[in-house]
Amino acid sequence: MDITKLSINQKTTIHWSLPECIDGCVRHKIPSIGIRREKIKEIGVKESALLLRNSGLKVSSLCFAGNFPYLNSNQRRERLDDNRRAIEEAFLTKANVLVIVGGVLPNGDIKRALSLIERGIDELLPYAQDSNIKLGIEPLHPMFAASHSALVTMEETNNLLDHYDSPYLGIIIDAYHVWWDPKLYEQIERSKKRIFGFHVNDWITPIYDYYTSRGMMGDGFIKLKQIRKAVEKAGYEGPIEVEIFNSKLWDTSYDEVLELCKERFRKYV
Amino acid sequence: MDITKLSINQKTTIHWSLPECIDGCVRHKIPSIGIRREKIKEIGVKESALLLRNSGLKVSSLCFAGNFPYLNSNQRRERLDDNRRAIEEAFLTKANVLVIVGGVLPNGDIKRALSLIERGIDELLPYAQDSNIKLGIEPLHPMFAASHSALVTMEETNNLLDHYDSPYLGIIIDAYHVWWDPKLYEQIERSKKRIFGFHVNDWITPIYDYYTSRGMMGDGFIKLKQIRKAVEKAGYEGPIEVEIFNSKLWDTSYDEVLELCKERFRKYV
């Protein structure tokens, strides 16, 4: 894939601050960046917004808000407040989309967590609409159903989107999370016109840690080109984010990582 | 759950030979055992069958055959030969069911692998029927889609079973593999009268290895009682296998492991 579509999610270069990552993307002629809230926090959202504007980089997404399931009304209010702050951050940084990760309940109750995720979206969507910020719901791999999100299939996510049918609510398709799904291509088609983001990386084996052993494109099993074409056919024309959680990559030189991302993006995406 | 239903899958006590595991189950008054082909191989199938018969233990299952996807006709023949040997082993050891794990293609092609799994079942089913051996297809967790089986949802498995509608073909429900699924309970109901096995264990976090960090019942997130009741409601009355792949547990005393299995089985299943 042509690198005019390339975006680097900050998670790929985890030890870089936002200024360092902006600088890296500019130096390596990468046109877009996917930013992280924890990195914005380090220097403040106004400073972040200023740096991003001056860099000329497009902001493909802000990661992430959501985490809706709550145990009591205090927690519910805290989550909503935090999610509203995320919308404001997305607005100020001119992010294409705010990525939403559903969240879990500590007792592992999937059905109840899914219902609380829906309730959370009910509450958040009006704020997103008022700020003209799109929310992109990212189904995670089922491996994360206990720890990160009970929402783990594209089908369940599309069911939810059907229910709202809002131009402010769409799906983020991350190859790592969905590649295994026998319904992958039918669900991509079903996501037509509401795909708000596309993330690439690879599935490598063996997994040595469920969170940090994600692979570089081309190193694993995912048919990225095939998925990318399906995503395009479903109407997505936006940036494609490289988002790699990989503890080995994190310990190498990020200038080399960015060059490798470009090379692999051209070849495998 | 009453321990009259308890079966210990040999994987739980991985360093024990079959004679040792049989002896352990008898000493600890565990009525059933789930046996493994690699353990049978160590002492031969006839000796295994004899020991099992003399022990009075029921054999809840033989694990596993399948691994259908092939790259060439040689490999196809080898797999079929091996699967036919597995049927013979199941027959000789009087196993309730032969567990089938679908398998993968080395290039990660899910659709093609699923189609080859179906073709493999086409070939194997007549042999199973002739030997009066039930085949139980076990959908694995999507985490194993690159390495162990492209068949990773109960829905896909049930679609396959519908296609055959044979009394010799059913499903093995392993809590670890399916607990995350938003369609879990509807798919258990759909499996009515064709559930050939039920495996228990737990999902613990963080995963430190995708293969060997499975948890003991009660240590994780899975609602085992709720799933067990749904499985019973769908007509399953057979033994319930404790199958735990856990490198930490594997390094402890297996007499203690068996007592712990009994305690947790009573309390959490």
- A27-79 pLDDT tens trace: 999 999 999 999 999 999 999 999 999 999 999 999 999 999 999 999 999 99
Candidates A110, A117, A159, A225: best to mutate against B (most CBs of B within 10 A) is A110
- A159-216 pLDDT tens trace: 999 999 999 999 999 999 999 999 999 999 999 999 999 999 999 998 888 788 899 9
State how far the Cα of B258 lies from the Cα of A91, in Å rounded to an integer. 57
Whether A202 and chain B come into contact, CB under 8 Å, resolves to: no
Nearest Cβ partner for B203 among A146, A182, A205: A146
Whether B154 and chain A come into contact, CB under 8 Å, resolves to: no
- B158-206 pLDDT tens trace: 999 999 999 999 999 999 999 999 999 999 999 999 999 999 999 999 8
Residue B197: what residue type? G
Q: Do A210 and B206 touch (CB under 8 A)?
A: yes
Q: What is the DSSP letter of A245?
A: -
Q: What is the DSSP letter of B190?
A: H
- A231 closest CA partner among A174, A177, A176, A181: A174
Inter-residue contact A141 to A130 (CB < 8 Å) = no
Q: What is the ipTM score, two decimals?
A: 0.94
pLDDT tier for residue B211 given thresholds of 50, 70 and 90: confident
State how far the Cα of B231 lies from the Cα of B235, in Å rounded to an integer. 7
Mean pLDDT value across residues A122-127: 98
State how far the Cα of A244 lies from the Cα of A200, in Å rounded to an integer. 8
State how far the Cα of A105 lies from the Cα of A111, in Å rounded to an integer. 10
How confident is the model at residue A209, as a pLDDT? Answer: 82
Whether B107 and chain A come into contact, CB under 8 Å, resolves to: yes
Q: What is the DSSP letter of A106?
A: T
- A96 closest CA partner among A198, A236, A238: A238
Cα A96 versus chain centre, distance: 11
State how far the Cα of A133 lies from the Cα of A113, in Å rounded to an integer. 24
Inter-residue contact A61 to A99 (CB < 8 Å) = yes
Mean pLDDT value across residues A125-145: 98
- B190 closest CA partner among B239, B135, B238, B230: B230
Phi, psi dihedrals of residue B169, rounded to the nearest 5°: -125, 120
Mean pLDDT value across residues A6-33: 98
How confident is the model at residue B260, as a pLDDT? Answer: 98
Give me the count of residues in chain A. Answer: 269
State how far the Cα of A19 lies from the Cα of A267, in Å rounded to an integer. 28
The tokens for B22 are 């049989």
- Check whether B210 has a pLDDT greater than 90: no
Candidates B140, B207, B208, B209: best to mutate against A (most CBs of A within 10 A) is B207
Name the B residues in 31-90 with CB < 8 Å from any A CB: none
- B87 closest CA partner among B149, B129, B119: B129
pLDDT tier for residue A84 given thresholds of 50, 70 and 90: very high
Residue A215: what residue type? G
- B59-112 pLDDT tens trace: 999 999 999 999 999 999 999 999 999 999 999 999 999 999 999 999 999 999
Mean pLDDT, chain B, whole residue set: 97
Nearest Cβ partner for A108 among B108, B211, B221: B221
How confident is the model at residue A207, as a pLDDT? Answer: 84
pLDDT tier for residue B153 given thresholds of 50, 70 and 90: very high
pLDDT tier for residue B213 given thresholds of 50, 70 and 90: confident
- B37-51 pLDDT tens trace: 999 999 999 999 999
Inter-residue contact B28 to B255 (CB < 8 Å) = yes
Q: In chain A, pLDDT over 90 holds for what percent of residues?
A: 97
Phi, psi dihedrals of residue B19, rounded to the nearest 5°: -55, -40
How confident is the model at residue A208, as a pLDDT? Answer: 81
Question: Taking every pair of C-alpha atoms in chain A, what is the biggest distance, in angstroms?
Answer: 49
The tokens for B265 are 């089985």
Q: Residue B164 burial by CB count (10 A; 0-12/13-18/19+): exposed, middle or buried?
A: middle
How confident is the model at residue B207, as a pLDDT? Answer: 84
- B111-133 pLDDT tens trace: 999 999 999 999 999 999 999 99
How confident is the model at residue B76, as a pLDDT? Answer: 95
Mean pLDDT value across residues B149-155: 98
State how far the Cα of A214 lies from the Cα of A208, in Å rounded to an integer. 10
| A155: closest chain B residue by CA | B182
Neighboring chain B residues of A178 at a CB cutoff of 8 Å: none
| A218: closest chain B residue by CA | B107
- Check whether B220 has a pLDDT greater than 90: yes
Phi, psi dihedrals of residue A65, rounded to the nearest 5°: -120, -170
- B37 closest CA partner among B76, B66, B5, B69: B66
How confident is the model at residue A184, as a pLDDT? Answer: 98
